[in-house]
Amino acid sequence: MKSSKTSLYDDLKRAVLTMELQPDEDLDETSLGERYSLSRTPVREIFRRLSGEGYVEIRENRGARVAPMNSFTMRNFFLVAPMVYSAIGRLAVQNYKPAQLADLKETQERFRVASETLNPLDMVLENNRFHEIFGEMSNNVYLQPSLGRLLIDHARIGHTFFRPKNIDMSHRLRLSVEHHDRFIEALSAHDEDAVVDLVFEHWELSRENMEMFIAPPGMESDSQLGKPALRSLEKTS
């Protein structure tokens, strides 16, 4: 059975990744302490731990808030993500342990079930866990924190990908599941080049999905909507 501290820690991470807690949203330590039967000291300890992992930001005399997302952080995200992901993939092939590969396979099956049942929250969490395992496989103390921080924003930016509303997005979701299967096959074969090639293929799919979320097609403007009426008035004048 999980302790109250562990439950609060896990729940806050989940809420950030699934956008239940929005970027920049303030965290009320008093209400959280009451909900989890914790005093302020353990709640603040959890905030500090989550701050070190990139989930929250602690401001002096203003408390904690969910890590923000702005144009500067997004630019840096898109700039370095492919580099970090490819390095993690290469090191994962070199260093992974059989138990980690088994964990990856189990996570992939949960992701597959979530995608087939269109469970968006489970898809976000299992996809995030899938890529976290790659970081653990890399066994690199310098890259793992960077990957963890990237995965937070990766999940937040692309979370609507896991709520497919049209055939194209459903197809992209199936491709994501297929990529995961191919990652496992390449790892099992110790094929470093195949993993790295797949990293870039998978990143391109993710990047396109995130771009569609960040910059969706614009709504028709009022002027466009009114054009037919204007033309009919011109004809009668």
Which residue type occupies 87?
A
Examine the domain organization and report whether 53 and 118 are in the same domain. no
Average pLDDT over residues 5-29: 94
Average pLDDT over residues 22-44: 94
Query: What is the rounded distance in angstroms from the CA atom of residue 102 to the CA atom of residue 108?
Result: 10
Query: What pLDDT shows up at residue 166?
Result: 57
Would 167 be classed as within a structural domain?
yes
Q: CA angle, 197 as apex, 195 and 201 as ends, to 5°? A: 110
Is residue 230 scored above 60 in pLDDT? Answer: no
DSSP code per residue over 111-132: HHHHHHTT-HHHHHHHHHHHHH
Domain count, the chain: 2
Examine the domain organization and report whether 173 and 107 are in the same domain. yes
Would 225 be classed as within a structural domain?
no
Would 235 be classed as within a structural domain?
no
Tens digits of residue pLDDT in 122-178: 998 999 999 999 999 999 999 999 999 999 998 888 766 666 565 567 788 899 999
Would 227 be classed as within a structural domain?
no
Would 223 be classed as within a structural domain?
no
Would 27 be classed as within a structural domain?
yes
Would 29 be classed as within a structural domain?
yes
Examine the domain organization and report whether 130 and 109 are in the same domain. yes
The strand pairing partners of 63, in sequence order, are 59
C-alpha R_g of the chain: 21
Examine the domain organization and report whether 62 and 23 are in the same domain. yes
Return the SS3 of 39. coil
Examine the domain organization and report whether 118 and 188 are in the same domain. yes
Beta strands in 31-123 (DSSP E): 56-59, 63-66
Q: Are 13 and 55 in contact (CB under 8 A)?
A: yes
Domain that holds residue 49: 4-66
**Residue 209: exposure state from Cβ atoms within 10 A (0-12, 13-18, ≥19):** buried
Residue ending a domain, among 66, 82, 116, is 66
Query: What pLDDT shows up at residue 205?
Result: 86
To the nearest whole number, what is the mean pLDDT of the chain?
87
Q: How confident is the model at residue 200 (pLDDT cuts 50, 70, 90)?
A: very high
CATH number at residue 12: 1.10.10.10
Would 230 be classed as within a structural domain?
no
Tens digits of residue pLDDT in 57-94: 998 878 899 999 888 888 888 899 999 999 999 999 99
